[in-house]
Amino acid sequence: MYSSKGRRELPDETFLIDGDLEPLSKGGTFVGRHICVPLEGTALHINAFNFPCWGMLEKLAPTFLAGMPAIVKPATATSFLTNAMVRVMIESNLLPAGALQLLCGSVGDTFDHLMSQDVVTFTGSAATGRKLKAHPTIINESIRFNMEADSLNFCMLGPSDTPGTEEFDLYIKEVSREMTLKAGQRCTAIRRVLVPESLVEPVIQALSKRLAGATLGNPATEGVRMGPLATMDQVKEVRKSVEALRKGADLVYGDLDNFSVTGAAREKGAFFPATLLHCADPFARSEPHDIEAFGPVSTVMGYKTVGDAIELVKKEKLVELIRFSHQEISKLIKRDARIAVAGLNPHASEGGMFGKEEEAEIRLTIQPTAPNFTTLAMEQRNDEVLQITQKAVVLIHEPLRGLLKPSKPPASHP
């Protein structure tokens, strides 16, 4: 696709005209036009273990079209496959010398040598991505940094999609497929299964029946529908995540210790069984919204109204933002930071007249993450709300040696 679009839509020049000629003076004596030219640096592509070939190629295509050389840094666990593919590409002599470089193993001090004309793309865990994005060279040189991180994707079943309907059957089929395709080791796999409370049991039963037909084993063996994880280390990581999820959810399908494998020895392969959990109180528990088991694992959660389902989806983002703020501020002040979260008008306070965000969303989201995070009770009076807001600012920024000094809150709201 990229190749054909490049041939059809891009010029044979070393620049691309962007938009029409724009008059910049009244008499037309001063005009301007934007042109796009290749950056003069290198594209550094840091790729994930689960897409050692396709992930590399989808990044190389626009890189080469833009006229930039690339350095590919694959994940160590599956780098042998990337190495084999790059070797074939180099031997084909289709690329100019030096246009493609391969770096296996640690990145070492690579980031220290980056410059403002370089580009970095990263695919992998959010934690690693944030760490790389905060590298001093990335910040000081204003280097373009594109991150595709893990996420807790959800799939929602509508209230009218009851058992026996085409929509219900399609939903079960899709969730099951997303759990077992590539053993669930995809960033787009469904991790949270949101269904009406009245349909929780029918969904669990239907999913369990379908997952039972997804035979685990050697992909080369006839009848096998799900293969192993990428590495033995991944088995340990996924199991660790499942155990963490079980603190807030019950195991309803799958047995981590007793499962059969077809066409292979279970102890010699990185096999992990399809695992389904059920969180009975998704608003009170943070685990399903905060922990991703990067394997054939999903959690069923019930909702009362469509509004509830929307709030559950938003819950993950709020927790992620607070955790990131806590992590970065703690590094800055070199001690454990205290984060205060407050709901403001018109989304909260006034006894619920303006909104119930602090009760229905913030408090229920933050409380399970204690002791690092604290909710502040919102008062009904506007001046008290302002005071609490100022306290939150002081609490977060006070250690920054007075760089931010909130003004004294007014006696009353104007």
**DSSP codes joined into one string, 91-128:** HTT-S-TTSEEE--S--TTGGGG--TT-EEEEEE-HHH
For residue 54 the two structure tokens come to: 């396709």
Residue 210 has pLDDT above 80, yes or no: yes
Q: Span 153-304: which CATH code?
A: 3.40.309.10
Contact 197, 303 (CB under 8 A): yes
Compute the average pLDDT of residues 276-288: 91
Q: Where are the domains of the chain?
A: 38-149, 153-304, 322-397
Residue 412 has pLDDT above 80, yes or no: no
pLDDT at 149: 74
**pLDDT class of 176 with cuts at 50, 70, 90:** very high
pLDDT at 6: 82
Contact 42, 69 (CB under 8 A): yes
| Whether 187 is catalytic | yes
Compute the average pLDDT of residues 178-192: 91
The span from the CA of 57 to the CA of 7, in Å, is 18
Please choose, from the candidates 46, 42, 185, the residue with its C-alpha nearest in 3D space to the C-alpha of residue 104: 46
Residue 339 has pLDDT above 50, yes or no: yes
Please choose, from the candidates 286, 297, 293, 208, the residue with its C-alpha nearest in 3D space to the C-alpha of residue 253: 208
pLDDT at 170: 95
| Whether 279 is catalytic | no
pLDDT at 342: 62
**pLDDT class of 2 with cuts at 50, 70, 90:** confident
pLDDT at 331: 74
Q: Span 38-149: which CATH code?
A: 3.40.605.10
Residue 380 has pLDDT above 60, yes or no: no
Q: Among the listed ranges 193-207, 239-253, 321-335, 391-405, which one has the minimum average pLDDT value? A: 391-405
Residue 383 has pLDDT above 50, yes or no: no
**pLDDT class of 28 with cuts at 50, 70, 90:** confident
Which of 141, 148, 237, 320 is the catalytic position? 148
Residue 398 has pLDDT above 50, yes or no: no
Q: Among the listed ranges 71-80, 146-155, 180-189, 221-230, which one has the minimum average pLDDT value? A: 146-155
DSSP 8-state code for residue 361: I
pLDDT at 126: 78
Which of 187, 311, 316, 357 is the catalytic position? 187
Bond into 371 cis (ω within 30): yes
Compute the average pLDDT of residues 395-405: 36
